[in-house]
Amino acid sequence: MSVSPGPGRGAKVTRGDPALSVLLVEDNDDAREALRILLELKGQRVVTARDGREALQEVRAQSPDVALIDIGLPDVDGFEVARILRAQPENRDLRLIALTGYAAERDRALEAGFDDFLVKPVNPDALFTTLERVCTGPHPRGTVENRPNSPETRNN
């Protein structure tokens, strides 16, 4: 964040909230690039993936704080990516936000293990409000033991 004592007096850069490590998974090159730039302008550290397989590799390599995942990916769709990640204990605290052009997929996305849902084209204010809500405080899906579809509760 920049703080200025007034016109013509320069600006002092101050550190706000720590940057999030964001994995952005989107198969559309233009949409991926636009969202990456938007996130980076707000100070987030962004790694991108073009498909579900690459997303799973990046999660293992980068351990991001949050993953924004397009539902309609060409190989492994976003629903399956979420299910795979939720089944891995090492990803229990990873926040997952679904991106889709279809508002009707909200319930299915939440059932697959997403913590929240955004409809494309993504409104920047909605994006940052959702990131703040999902990534601050306790996990939005509750404790691991109380989360639907978590390995600890799936067989109960």
Q: Kindly compute the dihedral angle of the four CA atoms of residues 133, 89, 84, 130, in this order, to the nearest 10 degrees.
A: 0
Decide: helix, strand or coil at residue 23. Answer: strand
Classify residue 13: in a domain, yes or no. Answer: no
Which phi and psi (to 5°) does residue 149 adopt? Answer: 65, 10
**Structural domain boundaries, residue 62:** 19-146
- Cβ neighbours around 17 below 10 Å, total: 10
Classify residue 116: in a domain, yes or no. Answer: yes
Residue 105: predicted pLDDT: 92
Q: What pLDDT digit, counting tens, does each position of 93-110 carry? A: 999 999 999 999 999 999
- The confidence band for 141, taking pLDDT boundaries of 50, 70 and 90, is low
Q: What pLDDT digit, counting tens, does each position of 26-80 carry? A: 999 999 999 999 999 999 999 999 999 999 999 999 999 999 999 999 999 999 9
119: left (phi over 0), alpha (psi -120 to 50) or beta: beta
State percent of the chain over pLDDT 90: 73
Classify residue 118: in a domain, yes or no. Answer: yes
Look up residue 100 and give its two tokens: 């889709």
Classify residue 10: in a domain, yes or no. Answer: no
The enclosing domain of 119 has a CATH number of 3.40.50.2300
